[in-house]
Amino acid sequence: MRQILKQLNFSSKEIDIYLAALKLGSASFTELSKLAGIKRPTTYAILEKLKERGLVSLSRKKGKQIFVAEDPEKLLKLLEEEKEMFAKKEEELKNALPKLKALAKKDTTMPIVRYYEGKENVWNIPEDLARSEQEARIIAPGKIYDFLGLNRFFKKVTQERKRLGAKANIITDHNPEVIKAWKMNESFRDYRFMPKEIEMNAVVYIYANKISIIFLKDPLTGLIIENEELFKIFKFMFDSLWKELEGKNLPETKNNNS
């Protein structure tokens, strides 16, 4: 219950006061403060916030101020209001993006480098790839799924790039999950394989004037380098390796879609 209220942007003390109000139904300021275990000045400020959100109302009983908890279904209305506000902000941001991008002057001679540490932060890298509609060149071992999660990777990256029709050429190893994907023979991605004795402990994405690298070891780290000249060099090296690996180091013949 507390977790749900946190997701509705309640602070810990706001939750304590609100739950106390629900338990008591109607109560004085002092009763609520005592049950919630929160000091009087803080309780008063929180009750004012809850009143503004329509979750408690003010009444009088024998000349005494009484706070009355409203029906919890009011929370659904709050959620709907937040959804509408979020959708409005999202639309406003989308409309503002072209102007913001125009303001972001870039020196194309100097690389822009973004560094990430920890799984959730490193996820910025595959998500950036997923947003790109341009062709990607990828060097990646199957162990990336162990670090980032196979199902999450499939939903967040593979499905999104497939939806965008974004082609990918992938140089990889003989991981079972990779071989399974290779056997599917999907048109939006193609595979070539490194020799089995080569151990791959990093991922390289080459796309949209960017080179992204994820280092597959704990703690998980990675970076995105944005630079046109560096992109051209990595693209050339990838294309040379791609050509060299054509028809080599293949797993068993594709004989089914399993």
Write the pLDDT tens digit of every residue in 153-165.
Answer: 999 999 999 999 9
Q: Please give the Cα distance from 123 to 44 (Å, whole number).
A: 42
Given this structure, which CATH class describes domain 112-244? Answer: alpha beta
pLDDT reading at 108 higher than 70:
no
| Sign of the dihedral through C-alpha 121, 125, 126, 127 | positive
- Mean pLDDT (the chain) is 87
Q: Which of 140, 159, 171, 163 is nearest to 244 (CA)?
A: 171
Among 92-101, 103-112, 183-192, 197-206, whose mean pLDDT is lowest?
Answer: 103-112
The residue count of the chain comes to 258
Q: Which of the given ranges, 25-34, 56-65, 70-79, 148-157, has the highest pLDDT on average?
A: 148-157
Q: Which of 141, 136, 111 is nearest to 205 (CA)?
A: 136
The reported pLDDT for the residue numbered 252 is 73
Q: For the chain, which residues make up each domain, given as ranges?
A: 2-69, 112-244
Which residues on neighbouring strands pair with residue 190, listed in sequence order? 169
Bridge-based pairing state of the strands 202-207 and 136-139: antiparallel
Cβ–Cβ < 8 Å for 114, 222: no
Residue scoring higher pLDDT (2 or 197)? 197
Cβ–Cβ < 8 Å for 183, 152: no
Residue scoring higher pLDDT (160 or 33)? 160
Among 10-19, 165-174, 229-238, whose mean pLDDT is lowest?
Answer: 10-19
Kindly give the interhelix angle for 40-52 and 29-36, rounded to the nearest 10 degrees: 110
| CATH 1.10.10.10, domain 2-69, yes or no | yes
pLDDT 10s digits, 130-176: 999 999 999 999 999 999 999 999 999 999 999 999 999 999 999 99
The reported pLDDT for the residue numbered 216 is 96
Q: Please give the Cα distance from 194 to 8 (Å, whole number).
A: 49
Q: Please give the Cα distance from 87 to 95 (Å, whole number).
A: 12
Q: Which of 208, 115, 197, 112 is nearest to 161 (CA)?
A: 208
Q: Please give the Cα distance from 163 to 92 (Å, whole number).
A: 25
